[in-house]
Structure 1
């Protein structure tokens, strides 16, 4: 779950994979089931676009009745979580055989395709790939000051210290002097990369790694925020208001209670 939180907190869209096997689906959406927990975490972490892929349809002989049953049950619980089922594409797939992943499958002639309605209008399709392509990219705030929360910090031989994370707002470029909060360490950015390719600049939504001068991996860590030292750099605050969601609260808090707070 902790790894899932790290990835989901940086995502614009989530694909909820649901096993259609008898017993598997029911276990996943039970009170403590992982399907239910993943959907709740995704919404809690700010993901607003959802695709539901109903997998292993070959194990239930591609029964239309089973697909409709799962769509209804899933729609009910994701609505309670906060998603709008009408804006969600439900796609029956078999990952093992590749059905409806990239190309339309001949194994479900009853399936007329998915349809979703959002503020951008109504979109239709048949496959999981088409559902991914139909996601509307969010607006990217490049005009705001740089904010880049660190996901991790690596020490790479011959290169040095490389923090990685997703640009939330603003732009990061080579030559820029960034400040890491809260340790308030300032340093120059030597280079910016994404997927092993050098970038002239990292924009909001980009998961980037950037090489910094004269900073050791022990001085900065996950959770620190990089910002432009010359444009409203991030800094500590005496107090702040927050909306806190606690999952599976035990009812009372005592010694030894260790929740994961988002």
Structure 2
């Protein structure tokens, strides 16, 4: 079936799980979809089989399966999406155990709500890896990237590494709107003085 294709050696399920881990995604939710299409429909053994196989694979990558919510769902029919489904009385809910504490629930929305937001350290020095640099006529040089730590605001003196160029930030924009300050998580463009 589709699950077997996805979890096979070059399958998309494996690829996405590995990509997520490699890109630094720390928290994972596994929604086992199309439960309405199992044989028989809403089959507990089929869910358990998939959960076991996915757990084994994500553990090899580096995730802790105990910290991952596994939720049997049917996106088409809405089962276990926003409220518990009557079609899977065998599903007693998901439980996540992590050092920050436990979380539990019955449906996908609760698993999403249980995701812990990442720390956004504004107290640390400014770090903003650049994704690109634009040269805009009449404006000048506009580096763009996401603030990882610290705060960026007009008037800030910044140093570009590895070139070791120091300059002042003239303005900061996000989605074409001027910002008084950008904090971790913000994707911004900023105008700098005398840098080409």
Give the number of the structure whose alpha-carbon radius of gyration is greater.
2
> Which residue, 52, 69, 74 being the options, matches 1:94?
74
The equivalent residue for 1:148 is 128
1:31 to 2:9 alignment = yes
- Normalising by structure 2, what TM-score? 0.82
Task: Give me the whole-angstrom Cα distance separating, in 1, the residues matched to 2:172 and 2:70.
Answer: 41
> Which residue, 17, 21, 30 being the options, matches 1:52?
30
RMSD: 2.8
Q: Secondary structure at the match of 2:53?
A: helix
The equivalent residue for 2:49 is 69
Structure 2: runs of 5 or more not aligned: none
Deviations 1:92-137 (A, max 9, x none): 2222333322333333222211111111222111222211211223
1:192 to 2:173 alignment = yes
Task: Give me the whole-angstrom Cα distance separating, in 1, the residues matched to 2:177 and 2:54.
Answer: 40
1:43 to 2:24 alignment = no
Alpha-carbon shift at residue 64 of structure 1 (Å): 1.3
Sort the Cα spacing of 1:126 and 1:171 in 2 relative to 1 into closer, same or farther, 3 A: same
1:124 to 2:72 alignment = no
Sort the Cα spacing of 1:92 and 1:198 in 2 relative to 1 into closer, same or farther, 3 A: farther
Sort the Cα spacing of 1:174 and 1:30 in 2 relative to 1 into closer, same or farther, 3 A: same
Sort the Cα spacing of 1:99 and 1:121 in 2 relative to 1 into closer, same or farther, 3 A: same
- Native 8 Å contact 2:157 2:168 kept in 1: yes
The equivalent residue for 1:15 is none
Task: Give me the whole-angstrom Cα distance separating, in 1, the residues matched to 2:107 and 2:79.
Answer: 9
- Normalising by structure 1, what TM-score? 0.63
Structure 1: runs of 5 or more not aligned: 1-22, 220-262
Q: Secondary structure at the match of 1:148?
A: coil
Deviations 1:119-165 (A, max 9, x none): 12221112222112112233333232211112345678997765443
